[in-house]
Structure 1
Amino acid sequence: MQCESRLTLDASAADHVVDVANVVREPALGGDRPADLARFEGVLDALADFSRDPAVQVYAITDRSLLTDARLTARERERLDRWYRHGLMEVLPRADDRILELADALGVRVVSGDNFLDFHRAHPWIPGDRDRFLRPVLGDDGVIVVRPRIMPVPPEWQVSRKEEEGLLLEAGVLRRWAPNGHLTVLGRHWRCPEPGCPLFGAGDRPSTALPRRRRDRVLCPTHGGPLADAGPRPRQVQVKVLMDGTVRGRFMVTAGEPLAVGRAPAGGGAVLGTWVDDHAVESVSRTHVVLAFDGRVLTVLDERSANGTRIRRSRPAGDELVPLHHGSRWTLRRGDSVVLHDRLELLPSGRQFVFEEDGTDGTVDPLRQESAAGPTMMGVPLPALDEGRRGDGRE
């Protein structure tokens, strides 16, 4: 697959943020040259394997110096410049702070070998973090792989994180997004006054990147100047189509525009046959479910599917399968997926702003436990629950 098809600056679609300069300049990732763009391509392949998603979407960011690095070939520098000009890669004088800003605001993982030690005080969540960073390494077979990493805790770190964060906020140094603060700017189109800005300059290209925030100002990450508000932009959430645990495709659900999903939805929608084989799609109804996004939460409605729908809930004690009865609507929470067939699921994006907090304790009543223990494909319609026994995300 072409490298370009995996690059995106869409804040709603990116699965990972990659520190391009760090990867390209890391000799331990193979090759004889001190800087080699093939390492970045190898990392993209590694992320596709890691996420089981051949079309994995990556938000690529690099230091500006990489575009003029004489250790790269002229052709490699031309490719980097083209990605930048076409809005496929973000370029900054120094990319580290922006990489961490995206990870913090969007909840995406960072791919880098950098420990970001000089940013630990500005971003107190980094030391000891176990969830948000991946390190690219060269496997025994000479192929690049990515592995989860634990960020180091500097020995001099003696001030508690909350105390340190309070001091930085008071000094105006800490530049973090307030909870859900990025929703406001992602709900607007923005334009940069600088001609030819690759992120916010083209009137015919949606401004899907995440602007920078400095106090109450919305700024262009590339040029640093204030962005002009160009009007409302409908919020979207990404949904992935999984068959046998592998991502086969993806589509977007736009706020205020319910989307039918099935074998051949009437009036348009997400046609699953585009991505999965005939055997799996034959067991899916023409309109199996309807997804709706209100800008805050994503819900799923079973449209009287012939073989039923289940919600797979991720729990510490193991996955839980909950039947979604005909006409019932479920509010999806972090870790939930929509099971249409024993081989086919819909997985909402892992963006932290897509889900509301889950206040339930994961318990289910006996009827739901019995139903969840059965096979995923249901031969007969499930019995209806009593009105008083509906719980969790259902309405």
Structure 2
Amino acid sequence: MRFEVSKVLDAIEARLSTDPALARAVVDLSEIVRYADLDGGRPANSVRLGLVVDALGRYLSEENVPVYVVSPRALLSDTDLTSNERMVIRRWADDGKVEVLPMLDDRVFEVAELLGVPVLTRTRGEQFRARRPWVDEPGRLLAAVAGEGGTPVLVSRVGRGDPAKQAERSPMGERLLARVWRCPESNCTSFGSGVDSDSPFADMRTFTSPVSQPPPAVRAGAPSCPRHGAKLKDNGARPAVEVLSVRIDGIVRQRFVVSTEGPVVVGRAPEGGKGVMLGQWLSEDARKWISRGHVQFALRDDGTLTVQDVSTNGSGVRPGGSDDDDQRVTLGRNESRPLAAADVVELYAGVNVGRSKMWATGGVVQPHSVMGEAPTMALRKFDR
């Protein structure tokens, strides 16, 4: 059973991200783990994060939805969690998958405001209303509750939330996320430089790329490290990014980021384990047609997004997302083309890539669950 729980936690890990361009909601892990009413199990269980992640996927009708997780450091010593769960959360923190802080304060709500994403919580945020009046807006606070058949669903704490209508980043968020920040603690996972080569564990540490740095905390009006509390140094302009989505047979399977730092290859199974792999979602015919590395996306310094065909069989661009085959522009090997805002790249019939904001819905009612390997005994207590 421990092996099965570990597999679930690994599946959950794949949905964790502090990347501002990808995160779709923010949660307080110390709150989520105590939703015992969702499974009737022990007082605290980190696997419940998977239930909430699944609920978010259903709410957005999208596969592989990333969640920004914040946790107080005290959770790492909470004996209501198993030693394995505490170890996994520590690893997530060390790898920059989650944000572990000495004290939460209003960090969860701060992240939500800076990024323009909802908070998954059962609270109403009354204590933060004076500073963050948006907590009273429909869809900004979503509560995970047991729905029909006991399946967790997300409901808006105020009014009726519209999954297709995402809030905008705050002006402060836009300013902070336009810069790269450095923490004076060189080994800081989120804002460190990774230059402490004297450490015996230097090669094992993971550092966040400038492209995907989380938002700084704002303390006394200054950008600060959420973990260490130190004032951050402005290290220059942040690389520009575009968020793209892979849409296969009408279903958004994955979002990914292209930045001015370098191109991204999309294909059946890009070499070196880098790039965006589509093979697991393709039909047999599509796998035969689509090359391991099929198209390459790049973002120029002037903001132009380009696509280059690097395949054997070629690809195409549908201007404005048009379904008219007469308008489709064929790309042969090594041919490239700048992409307008609504252009869609077609690798094979029904296998498309475009800017994420083009598709208001992910097109799937029941996204793949991270809980597929969850043993019932891990969640539910024995009847006595």
Which of the five TM-score ranges fits, normalised by the shorter chain?
0.5 to 0.7
Q: What does 1:1-395 align with in structure 2 at a 5 Å threshold?
A: 2=10, 3-51=12-60, 53-95=62-104, 97-130=106-139, 132-145=140-153, 147-151=154-158, 177-178=171-172, 180-185=174-179, 188=180, 190-194=181-185, 196-201=187-192, 203=194, 205-207=207-209, 208-214=213-219, 217-230=222-235, 233-255=238-260, 257=262, 276-280=282-286, 291-294=297-300, 299=305, 308-312=317-321, 329-332=338-341, 343-349=350-356
Which whole-Å deviations, capped at 9, do the CAs of 1:315-373 have from their partners, x for residues lacking one? xxxx999956578754327xx8656655223243459xxxxxxxxxxxxxxxxxxxxxx
Q: Distance in 2 between matches of 1:320 and 1:211?
A: 45
User: Is the 8 Å Cα contact of residues 190 and 214 (structure 2) preserved in structure 1?
Assistant: yes
2:382 maps to: none
**Rg bigger for which structure?**
1
1:183 maps to a residue whose letter is L
1:345 maps to a residue whose letter is N
SS in 2 for 1:76: helix
Structure 1: runs of 5+ lacking an equivalent: 154-175, 314-318, 352-395
Q: Distance in 2 between matches of 1:284 and 1:148?
A: 40
User: Is the 8 Å Cα contact of residues 193 and 207 (structure 2) preserved in structure 1?
Assistant: yes
Q: Distance in 2 between matches of 1:78 and 1:226?
A: 29
Greater mean alpha carbon deviation, residues 176-185 or residues 36-45: 176-185
Q: Distance in 1 between matches of 2:329 and 2:70?
A: 44
Greater mean alpha carbon deviation, residues 288-297 or residues 82-91: 288-297
Greater mean alpha carbon deviation, residues 43-52 or residues 83-92: 43-52
2:363 maps to: none
Measured after TM superposition, the shift of residue 149 of structure 1 is 1.0
Larger proportion of helix: 2
User: Is the 8 Å Cα contact of residues 338 and 346 (structure 1) preserved in structure 2?
Assistant: yes
Q: Per chain length, whose mean CA-contact separation is higher, i.e. which structure has more relative contact order (CA < 8 Å, sep 6+)? A: 2
Q: Distance in 1 between matches of 2:192 and 2:263?
A: 30
Measured after TM superposition, the shift of residue 22 of structure 1 is 1.8
- How many matched pairs? 317
Q: Distance in 1 between matches of 2:304 and 2:135?
A: 29
Percentage identity across paired residues of the two chains? 34
Q: TM-score, normalised by structure 1?
A: 0.64
Q: TM-score, normalised by structure 2?
A: 0.65
Which whole-Å deviations, capped at 9, do the CAs of 1:181-240 have from their partners, x for residues lacking one? 13322xx2x332236434233616235222123476321011211123455553333322
